[in-house]
Amino acid sequence: MYGDSLMLKGGFAEYAIAPESVLARKPAALTFAEASAIPQAGAIAHQGTAGAGAGSRVLINGAGGGSGAFAIQLANDSAPR
């Protein structure tokens, strides 16, 4: 299991207590290091692209980082096919 402690105002620790609703199963194909990048970068990208829909134009400035890489994928998923 892994998750993001941002809403809990917590820190980083080897062990922590968190509600099950903020946790997810780590995909078997990902290492713990890879999975640890998803909660924060993914959440930021999701917030930034939340209003995008089919036919929308989205500017993603600085797509080389984690949030930008996720935002490209999320924006592309909302593009018309």
What are the helix (H) ranges across 9-65? Answer: 32-36, 38-49
Q: Are 4 and 39 in contact (CB under 8 A)?
A: yes
Q: Are 3 and 23 in contact (CB under 8 A)?
A: yes
For residue 29, the model assigns a pLDDT of: 94
Give tens-digit pLDDT for 24-75: 888 899 898 888 778 778 888 888 888 887 888 888 888 888 889 999 988 8
The 8-class DSSP code of residue 31 comes to -
- Model pLDDT, residue 7: 63
Q: For residues 25 and 34, give the distance between their C-alpha atoms in angstroms, rounded to a whole number.
A: 13
pLDDT at 53: 78
